[in-house]
Amino acid sequence: MTGGAGDRPDPARRRNRFSLFAKAPPSCFVAAMPSFHFGAIILAAGASTRMGRPKQLLRIDGRTLLRRTVDAVLASAAWPAVVVIGAHQDSVRPEVARLPVLIIENPGWEEGLASSIRAGARVLDTFSLSLDAGLLVVCDQPGFSPAAITRLTDVAVSSGKSIVAARYDGHPGPPVLFARCHFHEFTELRGPGGARPLLERHAGQLATVDLPELATDLDTPEDYRDFLASSQSTRPPAL
């Protein structure tokens, strides 16, 4: 595990009864908490096989997708920000090496998203014992923004639900905010499906936030070309 030049790790690193792998605390309601602290796990370990090159490094308006995602997280109240890398790590790492993030390598990235969630969750547990929640973020949504994070956290506090997900195309999806009482369940996740089994298992504790701007994700060269063309067509003409 490595960190960027501006790391701000929590100095308290010893485990306590709220450890990630301890029994979940009895209350799972974020609204009951006097203050709300959350970290973020940015999932950037994928091989981008459908894109044919690392989509983490696709550029939009002069910044890579990964840098745009990390910048959005750092502009929010999230701390710490954990970036999980794996495939293409030698080319991906320099994009965030000088930022105040915690960078970890996931040697099991070929398993899929679940392995990166497990790896990132272990780091949240080690560095931040006072967290109330964790935000899972993917790095292929060009519409992701600090405002989207704020809307998720506002609903978490106001609704009393322990899971808050973005909603687009009629379904919940990332980013997803999980109250700490669910952290121990991250260790059970396997395969490419990420945290979706937890959304299904705890449907009664799931709130969603309509964020249609996140419906666009970039998986193929066609997706990228179409997005760039659409972005150009919606920009006002230069004066």
Q: Give the pLDDT band of residue 72 (cuts 50, 70, 90).
A: very high
Domain covering 41-234 in this structure, CATH number: 3.90.550.10
- Cα 29 off chain centre by: 21
Residue 171 DSSP label = E
Statement: residue 66 has pLDDT above 80: yes
Residue 193: the pLDDT is 86
- Residue 192, preceding peptide bond in cis (omega within 30° of 0): no
The whole-model pTM stands at 0.85
